[in-house]
Structures are given as C-alpha cells and as structure tokens.
Chain A
Amino acid sequence: MSTIDEIMNKPPNDLVVPDDIDILVAYHRNNRARVEAGEKPKKDRPKITVDMSSIIQQIKPTATPDKPKFVRRV
C-alpha cells in the first residue's frame, strides 16, 4: 500500500497531524504542478517487491530483439 493510500485509509484518531495532512496536500500540489507542466501525473504506486519481480520475470515474453520475426508479406 502506498503512503498516500495509508493516510487515506487511516481512522481519524490514527492520523498524524500535521505531518499526514502536509504529505497529502503536497502530493496533490505536486501532481497538479506536473500536469500544468505537461507531464502525465505519476500515480503513487506501491513499490514492486522482490516476490513481485520474480513473478514479472516469469510472465515476461521470452522473445529477444535479435530473434528473427516472421513477417507475412501481402
């Protein structure tokens, strides 16, 4: 779970004030600045853990760039 998600899901009495609110406000302001600068806003995604990386390795396509590709000419 991302930091932002953690803050958003905290019960009211668990919120750390003002730090959590600072983080949340800064997150939205930074995202807005990126959009205004023409960037696509970065989603606050969770970091990929080692376990996830190994799964990604397993499902990655096995084809390599130097392997010849078949092209059907019409």
Chain B
Amino acid sequence: MSILNQPIKSAMDLEPPPIEAPSPFLPNSNIQYAWDATSISYLKQCPRLYKYIMIDGWQSEGESIHIRFGQEVHTSLQMYQLLRTDGASHDDAVHDVVLDTLCRTYGWNPDTETRPGKYKNRNTLIRAIVDYLDKYEEDPATTYIRASTGTAAVELSFRFELDFGPRAAVSTRDGEDVLFQPYVLCGHLDRVVEFSDCLYVMDYKTTTSTPGPYYFDQYDPNNQMTLYTFAAGQVLEDENPKPSPVKGVIIEAIQLMVDETRSTRGVTQRSQGRLTEWLGDLEYWLGMAEYYAEVGYWPHNDTACDKFGGCRFREICQKDPSVREKFLESSFKRGTPWNPLQPR
C-alpha cells in the first residue's frame, strides 16, 4: 500500500500510553542520581534555578510552548529520516510527515498574540518542517546505519552508569564500601550521521535569533554538546565493525521568523582529552549537587541571571526572600518536575 493511501490515524491512535518513569532521585531524598544534559546545565548555571525546576517543578506557560514545539520538530524530523531509510521518496516522506504532524498537533493552539506563540505555533511548525526537509533533500550528512542492528541511528536513547556515585549510595558490607547506585547519564541523541568520513551527532535547534558565528560560539564549550559526543561514543562502542570515533556535534539551527524559516548548519568538535576532562569535572559538580541536597539549600548564582537570554526566574529572585514563594505561585505553575528517565 502506498504511504499516502494508508488510513489516517486519529490523534488518539497517535497518543502513546503514558509510561511512568522511575524517579531520578535516591529514595526519600533530593539527591539526584540520573542526570541528563538539561539537569546538569541547570545545576551548573545556578543551583537555585536547578532547585526551582528539578526539585520544586515550577514551570511557565511560555516554556511549555517551547518544549512542545521542540518535541514536535524532533518527532517530525525523526519520522522523515526513518521513512527515507526505509526507501520512501523525499516527497512521499514530506507528505507523510506533514500529515502525521497535523494529526498529532490537532488541538494544540498556542496564543499567537504572545511572543512564544507568534513564532511557535502549528503553522510555523509545518512551515519549518517543509522548509528544512526541502533544503536538505540531498544531504551530504547521511544517517549512520548501525552495524549491530542494521537500523538507522535516529532518536537514540542512551543510559549508562558511571564508575562513581553519590556518597549516600555507598554502604559498607563486610568492611568494604559498596556503591549500590552509581550516577547514570541519560538522554536522547537526535541522529548520528556520517559526514566527511567521520561520525557526528546531529542536534536540531529551533531559534528566533540569527544563527551566525556568535550563535554557534555558544556550543563550544557547551555541556550538552560535550555530553552528546561522549554519549554517542558509548552507545556505538559495541558496534562491530567499530565505526570511526565520534568527532562532535553538527548543530542544525532552524531559525523561525514571522514570514519564513532559515536553516544553518554549524559543527563543534571535541577531542578525547576534552571529553575526559569534562567527565572529571562532572564528578565535582555532582558532588556539589549532593551536598546542596544534604544541607537542603541551593545557593543563588547571581552572575548567571542575564545569561542565556535572561533567566526565567530573574524577576522572582529580584523579590525579597520572604515573598518569593508567593510570586512563584502567581507567575508559575507547579507541575511534574523534569525527569531525565522519562522515555520518549
């Protein structure tokens, strides 16, 4: 049956059943053992920001639009790559992806009078997908096909244990210290590609700013890109024959404007020495996180408030500590905190 003649799935059919993820925290504590790029970045940026999001679960309305839009872009581009790997033509794959995206997002109507909704809504989503896929119809970066499984390396979830863990997860048995819960690094790689005879992780970013050299500079050094390079190496370690080492990340910046979409590609590389150094530093950072959880206090980093386009909690931190909670309640909603172990 042609791809286009297949029965239309309803939004209900497309909704995956919710899967309850295990807690990323050690039982009855705020000590996080499972970490992804997002939660590590919060911690490094500002411990108070980390607490507000990862422990308290404060979320803003605008933020949910960004998250939903990003997820939909990822889902659509992932579907396209899988269809192409299965032999579908570019046009058939684009049509299928647009149809699926329309069905999946039916009922999602961000307020286009707000800034997030003006740039990130169903219409700009469909436009971004069509424009991006058309631009890279003949892409020199090709999806890596895993030697071990024969499957396309698209939306690869990773989860692996480190050889160190929280101090609270060490117990003494027969006079010896035993680590019963090491730290876990987890996340999702959008795609692994072969480009110029090397392997790279490909990561999709949507932005409303112009992706020039200044934009791409933010990804080197960058916690997420280093973790992804490291993780891809771990994921592909057992491949046989062993592929060439993962060099870094290709960043696909999809710029959303009111009337058009532009895509620009940037490359950031990581040497093995830098990856090892990053992992060594991480042990110190996670040790700090455990300490904050033990004392029940997450200090404010007031040198980061204006970074990354301005912290979303900046106005909260401008308030006196005695009234801060009240302002949080009026400006944010408390939801389920971000969980790195939540499967996609």
Tell me whether A8 and B260 are in contact (CB under 8 A): no
Report B194 CB to chain A, min CB distance, Å: 28
What chain B residues lie within 8 Å of A31 (beta carbons)? Answer: 127, 259-260
Distance of A31 Cα from B273 Cα, bound (Å):
47
| Contacts between the two chains (Cβ within 8 Å), count | 59
Report A46 CB to chain B, min CB distance, Å: 15
What chain A residues lie within 8 Å of B94 (beta carbons)? Answer: 25
B317 on interface, CB distance cutoff 8 Å: no
Tell me whether A41 and B259 are in contact (CB under 8 A): yes
A56 on interface, CB distance cutoff 8 Å: no
- Chain B 1-45 interface 0/1 with A at a Cβ cutoff of 8 Å (1 = within): 000110011110000000000000000000000000000000000
What chain A residues lie within 8 Å of B259 (beta carbons)? Answer: 31, 35, 40-41
B130 on interface, CB distance cutoff 8 Å: yes
Find residues 1-28 in chain A having any chain B CB closer than 8 Å to their own CB: 4, 7-8, 10-13, 15, 17-18, 21-22, 24-25, 28
Distance of A25 Cα from B11 Cα, bound (Å):
21
B interface size (C-beta, 8 A): 23
Tell me whether B102 and A25 are in contact (CB under 8 A): no
Distance of A59 Cα from B229 Cα, bound (Å):
62
B134 on interface, CB distance cutoff 8 Å: yes
A interface size (C-beta, 8 A): 21
Tell me whether B98 and A21 are in contact (CB under 8 A): yes
What chain B residues lie within 8 Å of A8 (beta carbons)? Answer: 102, 122-123, 126
Distance of A12 Cα from B99 Cα, bound (Å):
9
- Chain B 99-130 interface 0/1 with A at a Cβ cutoff of 8 Å (1 = within): 10011001000000000000000110011001
Distance of A48 Cα from B213 Cα, bound (Å):
45
Q: Which of B4, B130, B260 contacts A41 (CB 8 A)?
A: B260
What chain A residues lie within 8 Å of B8 (beta carbons)? Answer: 12-13, 15, 17
Known contacts A8-B122, A12-B8, A41-B260; A17 and B130 CB within 8 A of each other: no
Tell me whether A12 and B130 are in contact (CB under 8 A): no
Distance of A10 Cα from B103 Cα, bound (Å):
9
B283 on interface, CB distance cutoff 8 Å: no
Tell me whether A24 and B98 are in contact (CB under 8 A): yes
Could you pull out 10 A-B pairs where Cβ atoms are within 8 angstroms? A15-B8, A17-B99, A18-B4, A21-B4, A22-B95, A24-B102, A31-B127, A31-B259, A35-B259, A40-B259
